[in-house]
Chains A and B, each alone.
Chain A
Amino acid sequence: MKEVMKIGGKLAAICAIAAIALGIVNAITEPIIIAARAEKVRLALIELSVGLEIGELNEVNNEGAILGYYPLSSLENIKAYIVNIIGSGYAGDMNLLTAISLEGEVLSVVLMKHTETPGLGKEAENASYMEKFIGKGNGSIIPSSKSHLDPKEADSIAGASITFIGIGKALNEAADFVGQLGGM
Chain B
Amino acid sequence: MLKEFTKGFIKENPVFIIVLGLCPALGVSTKVVNSIGMGAGVIFVLLGSNIFVSLLKNFIPEKVRIPAYIVIIASFVTIVEMVMEAFIPALYDSLGVFVPLIVVNCVILGRAEAFANKNTVKASILDALGMGLGFTLALIIIALVREVFGLGTITLFPIGNFNGVIEIPGLIDSPVRVFALAAGALLVMGFLKALFTWIEDIRRVKQ
Which A residues are closer than 8 A to B by beta carbons? 6-7, 10-11, 14-15, 18, 21-22, 25-26, 28-30, 32-33, 36, 91, 115-120, 122, 125, 158-159
A36 to B89 Cα, complex, angstroms: 8
Contact-size category for B:
20 to 34
B28 contacts A118, CB within 8 Å?
Answer: yes
Nearest-neighbour CB distance to chain A for B99, whole angstroms, equals 11
**Interface residue B82 (Cβ < 8 Å from any Cβ of A):** yes
A4 to B142 Cα, complex, angstroms: 47
Stretch at the interface among B71-79, B113-121, B190-198: B71-79
Known A-B contacts A18-B75, A115-B96, A118-B30; the reply to A36 vs B64 at CB < 8 A is no
B94 contacts A118, CB within 8 Å?
Answer: yes
**Interface residue B199 (Cβ < 8 Å from any Cβ of A):** no
- Within 1-35 of B, Cβ neighbours of A (below 8 Å) are at 27-28, 30-31, 34
A33 contacts B82, CB within 8 Å?
Answer: yes
Which B residues are closer than 8 A to A by beta carbons? 27-28, 30-31, 34, 56, 59-61, 63-64, 67-68, 71-72, 74-75, 78-79, 82-83, 85-87, 89, 93-98, 177, 180-181
Q: Choose among B31, B60, B71, B87 the residue that contacts A119 (Cβ–Cβ < 8 A).
A: B31
B97 contacts A21, CB within 8 Å?
Answer: no
**Complex: chain A residue closest to B56, CB-CB:** A14
B86 contacts A29, CB within 8 Å?
Answer: yes
**Complex: chain A residue closest to B184, CB-CB:** A119
> Interface SS of chain B: helix, strand, loop or mixed?
helix
Known A-B contacts A10-B59, A14-B60; the reply to A25 vs B177 at CB < 8 A is no
B31 contacts A118, CB within 8 Å?
Answer: yes
Residues of A within 8 A of B31 (CB): 118-119
A118 contacts B85, CB within 8 Å?
Answer: no
Q: Choose among B28, B72, B98 the residue that contacts A14 (Cβ–Cβ < 8 A).
A: B72
Residues of B within 8 A of A21 (CB): 75, 79
Q: Which of A25, A119, A120 has the most CB of B within 10 A?
A: A119
**Complex: chain B residue closest to A4, CB-CB:** B63
12 residue pairs of the A-B complex, CB under 8 angstroms, read A7-B63, A11-B68, A14-B56, A14-B68, A25-B83, A30-B82, A33-B82, A33-B85, A117-B97, A118-B30, A118-B31, A120-B181
Known A-B contacts A7-B64, A29-B83, A36-B86; the reply to A14 vs B94 at CB < 8 A is no
Q: Which of A6, A115, A118 has the most CB of B within 10 A?
A: A118
**Complex: chain A residue closest to B183, CB-CB:** A159
A117 to B59 Cα, complex, angstroms: 40
The 10 closest A-B pairs by CB, nearest first: A119-B30, A29-B86, A18-B75, A32-B86, A29-B82, A7-B61, A25-B79, A115-B97, A11-B64, A33-B86
